[in-house]
Amino acid sequence: MNKRLAIVEDDPDVRAILQRSLSADGYGITALADGEHLEELLTNDPVDLVIMDVGLPGIDGLSLMRRIRQTHDVGIIIVSGRCDLTDRVVGLELGADDYVTKPFETREILARVRSVLRRNSRGNAAALPTVQSRRHTLCFDGFELDLLSRTLTNSEGKQILLTSGEYKLIEVFVKHANRVLSRDQLLDLIYDSDAPAFDRSIDVRIGRVRKKLDDDPRNPRLIKTVRNDGYIFVGKVTAAGG
């Protein structure tokens, strides 16, 4: 089945370019001029990836993305005229999987879309029965990471909503506990051959993961920064059910 994409862009020319090029590549497209109905779309007629501008009328793209990330695990690519490093970091920190600046080449958009869809497909394995999956569960600091269903639950049994990138980062850390990992090593382990060019995205994702794990960045108990070297996961990891 072809992947389905939503384009949220108020500029009709840019929206038409994106819709035309992505449709020609075989994707099903829903194009919106603003973000007012995006959440309704994701709930009633889900898509695999959202491409959105930041400067939207009504609710802006960053606020919209923040709301989406609370309830939906969908790929998000920001396409924006804001090219400052701070804007890129903020976009990634709020949950974007990638950030493309305008003007852009359609070939670049197609490559970024394929990359994000590949990464997300690796992170969306179906859950297997609980009895079987518990044999593949890693526990740390009251959390349980299920390697089959690719889910994280806290000490109260509540599932923590993770993007595919956040899950993969946690999985890499718990499988390499008490070992210093550089940014380049983390990129290789998380993204395989689809590593983004913006290597500081690792810092952004670690900030998001720390929030999900209630790990105070000023005094982290789980993911510690090793100056000039990278990061180390210091939580005690045990296997549940063998």
Distances (CA, A) of 22 to 15, 111, 122, 228, 235: 11, 11, 22, 41, 43
161 and 87 in one domain?
no
Is 213 in contact with 233 (CB distance < 8 Å)?
A: no
User: Is pLDDT of 129 > 70?
Assistant: no
The tally of domains found in the chain comes to 2
pTM, 2 dp: 0.59
**Cis before 129? omega within 30:** no
Continuous H helices in 60-158:
61-71, 85-93, 106-122, 130-133
Mean pLDDT (whole number) for 16-39 = 92
Q: Of 122, 148, 167, at which residue does a domain stop?
A: 122
Burial of residue 141, with CB atoms counted within 10 A of its CB: 0-12 exposed, 13-18 middle, 19 or more buried: middle
Instruction: Please report where in the chains the tokens 């939207």 appear, as a residue.
Output: 56
29 bridge partner residues: 5
Mean pLDDT (whole number) for 205-214 = 92
Q: What percent of the chain has pLDDT over 70?
A: 88
114 and 73 in one domain?
yes
Give the per-residue pLDDT at 132.
Answer: 39
49 and 90 in one domain?
yes
**Token pair recorded at residue 107:** 């070939």
User: Is pLDDT of 194 > 60?
Assistant: no
67 and 42 in one domain?
yes
Please give the helix or strand (H or E) that residue 146 lies within, else none: strand 143-146
Q: Of 102, 122, 142, at which residue does a domain stop?
A: 122
Give the per-residue pLDDT at 127.
Answer: 36
Q: What percent of the chain has pLDDT over 90?
A: 41
Q: Of 67, 90, 122, at which residue does a domain stop?
A: 122
161 and 95 in one domain?
no
47 and 153 in one domain?
no
Distance CA 111, CA 136 (A): 34
- What do you get for the CA distance between the two ends of the chain, in Å? 37
Q: Which range has the worst mean pLDDT, 59-73, 80-94, 129-143, 201-215?
A: 129-143
User: Is pLDDT of 126 > 70?
Assistant: no
Continuous H helices in the chain:
12-24, 38-44, 61-71, 85-93, 106-122, 130-133, 164-175, 183-191, 201-212
Domain that holds residue 165: 130-240
Helix axes 183-191, 164-175, angle to 10 degrees: 120
Give the per-residue pLDDT at 200.
Answer: 66
170-186 confidence digits (pLDDT tens): 999 999 999 999 888 88
Distance CA 30, CA 16 (A): 11
Give backbone dihedrals phi and psi of 180, rounded to 5 degrees, phi first: -70, 130
Burial of residue 24, with CB atoms counted within 10 A of its CB: 0-12 exposed, 13-18 middle, 19 or more buried: exposed
Q: Which pLDDT band, with edges at 50, 70 and 90, does 43 fall under?
A: confident
Give the per-residue pLDDT at 9.
Answer: 94
Distances (CA, A) of 213 to 81, 125, 138, 152: 33, 22, 15, 10
